Chain A
Amino acid sequence: MSEALTNISAHSAVTSAPLLSARGLCFDAGGQRLIDGIDLDIAPGRCTVIMGANGSGKSLLLRLLHGLIEPTDGAVSWCGQPLDRAARREQAMVFQRPVMLRRSVAANLRFALSVRGVRGAKRKAQEEETIARARMDALKDKPARVLSGGEQQRLAMARAMIGAPRMLFLDEPTASLDPASILAIEQLIQEARDNGTTIVLVTHDPGQARRLGDDLFFLHGGRIAETGPIMQVLEKPTSKAAQAWLSGRLFVPNTP
């Protein structure tokens, strides 16, 4: 087996107690092991980027870390404790395809506030503040599902940031968006970082990884093929999988 498939215990970037940890994380489906024994720590305040080819398990890993699906083996812990529903309330996730409720922009935000127990005048104030922060004042009464892709993703970001989550999972939030929309999303991500939110970002865009990331996990075949500070991995990848992917070549394991 290539060195690229050797599982690497990834703790290099962590300098303080991890906010979120995974140990021996595995996930099987359809008789296949899709996530294969991943260990990782994510330190507070960092922006951790997960990259890898399609099918390498990036989105699946994100869902496992957020507790949306149960691992076949291994565990995720939050501040040293098992990840439970209360812990998940301190996290938020933005999906690649934003899920818009069949309501107006403002009502989508109101729902997220209500779920977090914010009611009355406080809810109204937070709703208006969030709309302003997402620069969506002119769109607040529009049905969310008729917004453009970029606007929907901005709304999804704004909704996720309600309640100031300690950790924000972003699954390719700028996939298929135009440069202006990408810039708007990246500004929101940067704002979240500035407010102390820890970011875990899945992206295929090395430029975006450079702009936003601190640490990088490169996934291949459900394993961490390489990890380290983002510039180090992007500029001097050591694994064959990362080298091949970053140079635009398709990496097929076991190829001579």
Chain B
Amino acid sequence: MESFSAILIEAIGLILSWDPDVIEIIMLSLRVTLTAVAAACLIGLPLGAIVGAFRFPMRTGVIVAMNTLMGLPPVVVGLLVYLMLSASGPMGVLGLLYTPTAMIIAQTILVTPIVAALTRQVIEDLNGEYAEQFASLGVGPLDRVLALLWDARYSLLTVALAGFGRAVAEVGAVIIVGGNINHVTRVMTTTIALETSKGNLELALALGLILLVIAVIVNGLLMAIRGTAARAAYV
């Protein structure tokens, strides 16, 4: 077995060579992850905001359910989505199994509870600060939710980032519903798993490094945005 440094050098060479296969895998990973995070935000942000801003019967039960779903095992989600999309499943007719769309669906299911639960906490805290002022101004329910979401925008970026982190690093669900098919559903995490099992450590490490770089870039951007927001006392 080659030394770690030798593998690392080969991995870096692979990245710098802009190998078309590697680029394809990275782009598919980003497409699947970003689409899933966007879908999860579309569902989770308003859901979390409504639960955070209003009192209603069974609210505690809803919060417990949301918090519990944050820890959904990816392989279980993968299996459920597989059963739904397989030929004998209720959505089998759509022919989505082993497509990037199936991977997006699975990741959206995984990330939505995270976005919703964290949004609920952020919005509940902010609503505690704004509630009397909103009541005094006569702010209606829709205006209240929209205002809370807007004013919590910088904190919610962190929420979206938590969702992104979960999605981009996820392997269990996407390998079940995507099948890790070359040039079709192969993403960074599934490739790392496959290539490691094959002993092709250079490619696995190269993709691992790229995953880390993506995480650093996203976190750096977020810190910069939050820093600007903090100077304006918007967080």
Instruction: List CB contacts (< 8 Å) of B181-235 with chain A.
Output: 232-235
Q: A101-B130, A102-B234, A143-B233 are in contact. Are A112 and B151 (CB under 8 A)?
A: no
Closest to B143 in A: A115
List 8 other contacts, CB 8 Å, given A99-B129, A115-B137.
A93-B132, A102-B235, A112-B137, A143-B233, A145-B232, A145-B233, A146-B232, A146-B233
Q: A114 and B138: CB pair below 8 A?
A: no
User: Is B147 part of the binding interface, using a Cβ–Cβ cutoff of 8 Å?
Assistant: yes
Taking a contact as CB atoms under 8 Å apart, the answer to whether A102 and B151 are in contact is yes
Nearest 9 CB-CB pairings of A with B: A145-B233, A99-B133, A143-B232, A102-B151, A93-B136, A102-B234, A89-B138, A146-B233, A115-B139
Complex CA distance for A76 and B137, rounded to whole angstroms: 18
Q: What is the 8 Å Cβ interface bit string for chain A, positions 106-141, against chain B (1 contact, 0 not)?
A: 000001101110000000000000000000000000
Expressed in whole angstroms, the minimum distance between the Cβ of B93 and any Cβ of chain A is 46
The answer, among A92, A95, A102, A114, for a CB contact under 8 Å with B132, is A95
B94 within 8 Å of A (CB atoms): no
A68 x B135 contact (CB < 8 A): yes
How many residues on chain A are close to B (CB under 8 Å)? Answer: 24
Contact A102 B233 (CB under 8 A): yes
Does A85 lie at the interface of the complex (its beta carbon under 8 Å from any beta carbon of B)?
yes
A-B contact pairs, 18 of them (CB 8 A): A66-B136, A67-B135, A88-B138, A92-B136, A95-B132, A99-B132, A99-B133, A101-B130, A102-B233, A102-B235, A103-B234, A111-B147, A116-B138, A143-B233, A145-B232, A145-B233, A146-B233, A160-B136
Q: Which residue of A lies closest to B155 (CB)?
A: A102
Per the bound structure, the CA–CA distance linking A232 and B165 in Å amounts to: 68
Interface flags for A190-205 (1: CB within 8 Å of B; 0: not) read 0000000000000000
Chain A nearest CB, measured from B216 CB (Å): 28
- Closest Cβ–Cβ distance, residue B147 to chain A (whole Å): 7
A102 to B234, CA, bound (A): 5
Q: Tell me whether B234 and A145 are in contact (CB under 8 A).
A: yes
Residues of A within 8 A of B136 (CB): 66, 68, 88, 91-93, 160
Q: What residues of A have a CB within 8 angstroms of the CB of B138 in the complex? A: 85, 88-89, 115-116
A69 to chain B, nearest CB (A): 9
In the bound complex, residues from chain B placing their C-beta under 8 Å from that of A88 are 135-136, 138
**Contacts A88-B138, A102-B151, A115-B143; is A68 near B132 (CB within 8 Å)?**
yes
Q: Are B143 and A114 within 8 A (Cβ)?
A: yes
Residues of B within 8 A of A92 (CB): 136-137
Q: Shortest beta-carbon distance, A48 to chain B, in Å? A: 18
Q: Which residue of A lies closest to B144 (CB)?
A: A115
Interface contact A99-B232, CB-CB below 8 Å? no
Q: Which residues of A contact B135 (CB under 8 A)?
A: 67-68, 88
| A95-B132, A95-B133, A112-B137 known; A101 vs B233 contact (CB < 8 Å) | no
Q: Chain A residues near B234: list those with CB within 8 A.
A: 102-103, 143, 145
Bound Cα distance A88, B134 (Å)? 11
Q: Which residues of A contact B143 (CB under 8 A)?
A: 114-115
Closest to B132 in A: A68
Shortest CB-to-CB span from B136 to chain A, Å, is: 4
B147 in complex: contacting residue of A66, A101, A116, A146, CB < 8 Å: A101
Distance in angstroms between the alpha carbons of A88 and B135 in the assembled complex: 9
Chain A 228-251 interface 0/1 with B at a Cβ cutoff of 8 Å (1 = within): 000000000000000000000000
Provide the residues of chain A in CB contact with B147, threshold 8 Å: 101, 111
Q: Binary interface profile of B, 112-137, with partner A (CB < 8 Å = 1, else 0)?
A: 00000000000000000110110111
Residues of chain B contacted by A66 (CB below 8 angstroms): 136
Cβ < 8 Å to B, chain A residues 27-68: 63, 66-68
CA distance A93 to B151 in the complex (A): 21
Residues of B within 8 A of A114 (CB): 143
The residue in chain B whose Cβ has the minimal distance to the Cβ of A66 is B136
A112 vs B140: C-alpha distance when bound (angstroms): 12
Bound complex: CA A114 to CA B146 (Å): 12
> How near does chain B come to A124, taking the closest CB pair, in angstroms?
19
Q: When each residue 71-95 of chain A gets 1 if its CB lies under 8 Å from chain B and 0 otherwise, what string results?
A: 0000000000000010011011101
Please report the C-alpha to C-alpha distance between residue A68 and residue B130 in the assembled complex, in whole angstroms: 12
Q: State in angstroms the CA–CA spacing of A99 and B131 once bound together.
A: 10
Interface string of A143-164 (1 = CB under 8 A from B): 1011000000000000010000
Tell me which residues across on chain B come within 8 A of A145, comparing CB atoms: 232-234
Once the chains are docked, how many angstroms separate the CA of A88 from the CA of B133?
12
- Within 8 Å CB of B152, what residues of A? 102
